[in-house]
Structure 1
């Protein structure tokens, strides 16, 4: 090797510098650990990929076929500034090792900024050609940046038609904000709703769950999942077309995980799963073209750091965070709530606040035990935001920052009012106008607030509702009539007392770590850091809205914006909550807040419910799959949410997109405009 090449075996990354003129790059790097035989490979069945574009470098990736698990495979990388490879800037001999599952992760430096390059690999035969693009030089004037962002691409749910559309776009890069793979196979939500071109997955090892699903447990399991996903030619085409900047979320290890803890059952997270976490880390590292390092000699599960930042001229700084490896346990432990309901989902807001405050007090005011980012990464995030000298600050943020809560008492009052208004019209000929309906809902709300909730079912006195009805009906509904003909119906529609509460719907996202969110927003606000936009996934729905300094303040102040894309192929947020109200008896009477049935059709009311109780949510679609396309200029950010059509008879629709909703964020204003 000469001075332009070096090999970092501890973190498995080969590096070479591009030649400045015609001709190939430097010599061979066949050196490495051990003296195993080196033979030619048999091709590149998983395609090629690039990632982490910087002004002078990019990471290139492939996996070489033909390995026997013992011998080494020889491979050559070629990179050119011409599509026909007539001018080779790199012509580098490399080695694929069984230790890293015969994957290649190679960093090319010395590249020109804002330039398109072409690359391919040779071993046994020639790989497909990939194209990539470096970032603009730091501080360079930039009039526009175009990128897509995606999340949640479950092999076993819905379809991957979105990738066919994405490869047709003219993009600078693609962001993947997590859940590249799903660690479970055979779960209920993964059964009977996938493409026929995606055969069932069978993990080489795996651990069965009580519900019949099997989850990845070993390094071989996680490698199998990445190899299976990468076998699809549509995802190969996406990777070959654009550099991808990736971060992980939970499913690259385990659903709703924190650190090295899994959450499949109430007591699961009491036991560290260090070996499983390390296997997940290594497989992600091997199959992701990211400019990060892993230290396998470090016995900790925190043997890799994937949070990092990028700059694109003077236009945008992109900060990618890791919201799983350092996060604290959920504020309300499953062991206390008895299940994920009450711990991670449908969490009483007061309980969440009280337990969070107690944990902070026990830590002497430190956020360590109530944090998603952890102290070190939080300080790094603050440095990146404060030090950014670009027009926009983009945050690759796995879980939504937007408050998503429901006032159960108010919601129940609204449902009772709807039912009662209909009954009054039918039974008494009393048709209430909109203003009267609002009065009635208010009276019911006051009665529910004052109700005795010590038992399983609330006992209201209707001290507000009965007099109001008497006044509205001109005496037709006297106290006696109310007691005989109205009260029994109202009482029969009352839900369990537990529903008369304020709920946080998803405490696995930032709503469950409110103190740290407030600290981050205070940092932005106090340091006058504007034009911050969260680029977010995870929740299997589209959301767009402002992130407030304190959602519980009398007059919250918007600080930044969060734009959440739906999953490429995942069960929707709506479907999860529909399942809860359909299967958990305590929530059955809340079903109209999630859906209603009209003419035999299911009508989604969940999106409207969320907007009713969360006015900062300017756009909501809780039953969606799709992706997002962003056009960024100095004056505004435009985001087009592409909602894809459903799978039809096991086949992805063409075109995949069923509808597009565009939202905009104007520079200097942390607000969303829905076009």
Structure 2
């Protein structure tokens, strides 16, 4: 089915009126200048604007590649006929235009015989960039070219949607050029196979949790080198907390100073500084240059453990709608997603990031938002009410919602999308752990679906009743790798009755459990710890063997008889005791590791899904090595985890 925006353009376009500009807020900003694709819609656009474009200049590269484009380029949300293309140009190089000058909700028209319109003039003044899309990386075969505005009130970013203008299943290259001749880095992306088309295999990578201050992005460098159709980012792309450098790891080149002077982002310039800084990383830039990235957020794009209505519980239990609206806007500015932002609406209605996309007949991906609408934590907001928690009856209340029942229509949309999907594999891109997770009789964290167990029960019951097959959940957030069976009744259902599989990815750099344990012996504190130090201490003390190893380690530390490698060995022994308990109490968790960092790969075929977890050797130096951690496969029509490597 055609995108409704394309249909509307075809309906209203005629030789006397030419579609000249759609805004970033409408999801597109493109004046078509040339196309060799043979698309009927394209031919009509070419014909109708030819008189005008003859009078427009072509921008040509004059400066070194990348000069003026400090955040490089990015693409996202690919379709069978395009993708969102993104860049940001240095504000000193162009003034750009404002959405107050150009109605962000309407198509702008350039009528015949008006070559000196405000839009035409803005292009002549260099307030637009030219975008080229090519089938070759040297741009010798340009298939699409046009002008797209620089939005000065959106931090001088450029976002253009080429959906509807390219061919399915092809690799394309793109670049941006200013009137003065500044040319961006070259980006690359693949269009998808059309919905319903037969597809034998699909490969994608997925990542989560990349605290810039906690380490280097070697994992992202390895993702960039993978041959994949696209990459999925499951959230915590940035961390609102930069912490106090005195209490962070000794990486002076990874420290961030926010304009507001605080250790957390509150203002729009604070949040923009985070994204600009993260996007300056060469490994992250390489990833975005080589692959389209499909993104959702988790909590740290706004604030730790956030919930509705715009509460940042670490800072205040009062709603902060202005800060939430700012976080929404800046995520929108820097994320190449086919998502609209409405600055005139309240924080809840200003943006909707939950969405889905299908790749041929092989897979449908369902992305949910588990922060903007979720209810507060069920048992309270103190550390031990959430982490290593005893629990409370409200957890099991069906009205206790992660997806925002009563606040949004997300749960109904989510279930309907999965149940009606005609794709073989249904992949849920889910921010926080779905399967239960207990240690020593307590819940590891109620910030995950354990805190919303009543709604979890509704979801699993509905999927089982609908006999949904080949349901896979990919998850981030916990800074751990895990492969788990999804069940309706975890206490009584045998493994053969599982309804799906959850596959969790470890963090790119954010502190894992073994690093958090290590912080018990130092004054170092990372704002990206998976659970607070207080909860870690409580958990260890409840395990006699782990407590014994902790005390031994402290004794050696006091006597200064531990080398760095020996300390790591002691820390892993403490964690091993905890992992042993995890496997006993959570038999549906078949693989688990929270002592390393990296990414996951997934290959889908018509007969099975193969999951591979990779780790990096070190995040404290920029030149880490990669190694295989886990690998398993899930046969078609069977919710089984067949372990190939553990």
Give the structure-2-normalised TM-score: 0.78
Shift of 1:51: 0.4
Q: 2:301 aligns with which of 225, 247, 252?
A: 252
Distance (whole Å) between structure 2 residues aligned to residue 299 and residue 59 of structure 1: 25
Q: Determine whether 1:166 maps to 2:223.
A: yes
Shift of 1:401: 0.8
Distance (whole Å) between structure 2 residues aligned to residue 622 and residue 93 of structure 1: 47
Describe the shift of the 1:21–1:156 C-alpha distance in structure 2 as closer, same or farther (beyond 3 A).
Answer: same
Match of 1:277 in 2: 324
Match of 1:381 in 2: 414
Describe the shift of the 1:672–1:586 C-alpha distance in structure 2 as closer, same or farther (beyond 3 A).
Answer: closer
Q: 2:390 aligns with which of 339, 348, 371?
A: 348
Q: 1:192 aligns with which of 244, 249, 269?
A: 249
Q: Determine whether 1:240 maps to 2:256.
A: no
Shift of 1:574: 4.0
Match of 1:125 in 2: 182
Q: 1:546 aligns with which of 485, 499, 512?
A: 485
Q: Is the 8 A contact 2:394 2:400 kept in 1?
A: no
Q: 1:626 aligns with which of 591, 598, 601?
A: 598
- CA-to-partner distance for each residue in 1:130-189, whole Å, 9 max, x for gaps? 111111011111111001000001101122111221222111000000000011012589
- CA-to-partner distance for each residue in 1:527-554, whole Å, 9 max, x for gaps? 0101010111000010111011122447
Q: How does 1:210-609 map to 2 (within 5 A)?
A: 214-259=263-308, 260-264=310-314, 268-269=316-317, 271-334=318-381, 339-342=382-385, 344-349=386-391, 351=392, 354-356=393-395, 360=397, 367-374=398-405, 376-406=409-439, 408=440, 502-553=441-492, 557-576=497-516, 579=520, 587=539, 589-592=541-544, 596=549, 601-602=570-571, 603=573, 604=575, 605-609=577-581
Distance (whole Å) between structure 2 residues aligned to residue 236 and residue 101 of structure 1: 18
Q: Determine whether 1:150 maps to 2:207.
A: yes
Match of 2:3 in 1: none
Describe the shift of the 1:162–1:528 C-alpha distance in structure 2 as closer, same or farther (beyond 3 A).
Answer: same
Q: Is the 8 A contact 2:80 2:192 kept in 1?
A: yes
Q: Is the 8 A contact 1:577 1:594 kept in 2?
A: no
Distance (whole Å) between structure 2 residues aligned to residue 12 and residue 668 of structure 1: 37
Q: Pick the structure with greater CA Rg.
A: 1
Question: Which piece of structure 1 moves more, 276-285 or 12-21?
Answer: 12-21
Distance (whole Å) between structure 1 residues aligned to residue 312 and residue 478 of structure 2: 18
Match of 1:651 in 2: 621
Q: Determine whether 1:612 maps to 2:628.
A: no
Q: Is the 8 A contact 1:544 1:617 kept in 2?
A: yes
Match of 2:634 in 1: 665
Describe the shift of the 1:129–1:371 C-alpha distance in structure 2 as closer, same or farther (beyond 3 A).
Answer: closer
Distance (whole Å) between structure 2 residues aligned to residue 581 and residue 247 of structure 1: 28
Shift of 1:13: 3.8
Question: What is the SS of the residue equivalent to 1:280?
Answer: helix
Question: What is the SS of the residue equivalent to 1:610?
Answer: helix
Q: 1:96 aligns with which of 150, 166, 190?
A: 150
Shift of 1:658: 3.8
Distance (whole Å) between structure 2 residues aligned to residue 161 and residue 585 of structure 1: 30
Q: Is the 8 A contact 1:61 1:106 kept in 2?
A: yes
Q: 1:180 aligns with which of 226, 237, 240?
A: 237
Q: Determine whether 1:111 maps to 2:150.
A: no
Match of 1:141 in 2: 198
Q: Is the 8 A contact 1:11 1:295 kept in 2?
A: no
Extract unaligned runs of 5+ from structure 1. Answer: 31-39, 208-213, 361-366, 409-501
Shift of 1:70: 5.7
Distance (whole Å) between structure 1 residues aligned to residue 598 and residue 161 of structure 2: 31
Q: Is the 8 A contact 1:216 1:222 kept in 2?
A: yes
Q: Is the 8 A contact 1:156 1:193 kept in 2?
A: no
Q: Is the 8 A contact 1:156 1:190 kept in 2?
A: no
- CA-to-partner distance for each residue in 1:278-326, whole Å, 9 max, x for gaps? 1110000000000010111113343100111010101000001111011
Shift of 1:111: 1.2
Describe the shift of the 1:621–1:21 C-alpha distance in structure 2 as closer, same or farther (beyond 3 A).
Answer: closer
Describe the shift of the 1:541–1:583 C-alpha distance in structure 2 as closer, same or farther (beyond 3 A).
Answer: closer
Question: What is the SS of the residue equivalent to 2:131?
Answer: strand
Question: Which piece of structure 1 moves more, 373-382 or 115-124?
Answer: 373-382
Describe the shift of the 1:105–1:545 C-alpha distance in structure 2 as closer, same or farther (beyond 3 A).
Answer: same
Q: Is the 8 A contact 2:343 2:350 kept in 1?
A: yes
Question: What is the SS of the residue equivalent to 1:646?
Answer: coil
Extract unaligned runs of 5+ from structure 2. Answer: 1-12, 53-61, 98-126, 521-531, 553-565
Describe the shift of the 1:160–1:54 C-alpha distance in structure 2 as closer, same or farther (beyond 3 A).
Answer: same
Question: Which piece of structure 1 moves more, 246-255 or 542-551?
Answer: 542-551
Aligned length: 542
Distance (whole Å) between structure 2 residues aligned to residue 565 and residue 135 of structure 1: 24
Describe the shift of the 1:298–1:582 C-alpha distance in structure 2 as closer, same or farther (beyond 3 A).
Answer: closer
Match of 1:478 in 2: none
Question: What is the CA RMSD across the aligned residues, in angstroms?
Answer: 2.8
Describe the shift of the 1:231–1:220 C-alpha distance in structure 2 as closer, same or farther (beyond 3 A).
Answer: same
Q: Is the 8 A contact 1:594 1:609 kept in 2?
A: no
Distance (whole Å) between structure 2 residues aligned to residue 168 and residue 71 of structure 1: 35
Distance (whole Å) between structure 2 residues aligned to residue 166 and residue 48 of structure 1: 17
Distance (whole Å) between structure 1 residues aligned to residue 222 and residue 20 of structure 2: 38
Shift of 1:634: 1.2
Shift of 1:652: 2.5
Question: What is the SS of the residue equivalent to 1:237?
Answer: helix
- CA-to-partner distance for each residue in 1:372-393, whole Å, 9 max, x for gaps? 3435100001111011111100
Q: Is the 8 A contact 1:331 1:355 kept in 2?
A: yes
Describe the shift of the 1:193–1:527 C-alpha distance in structure 2 as closer, same or farther (beyond 3 A).
Answer: farther
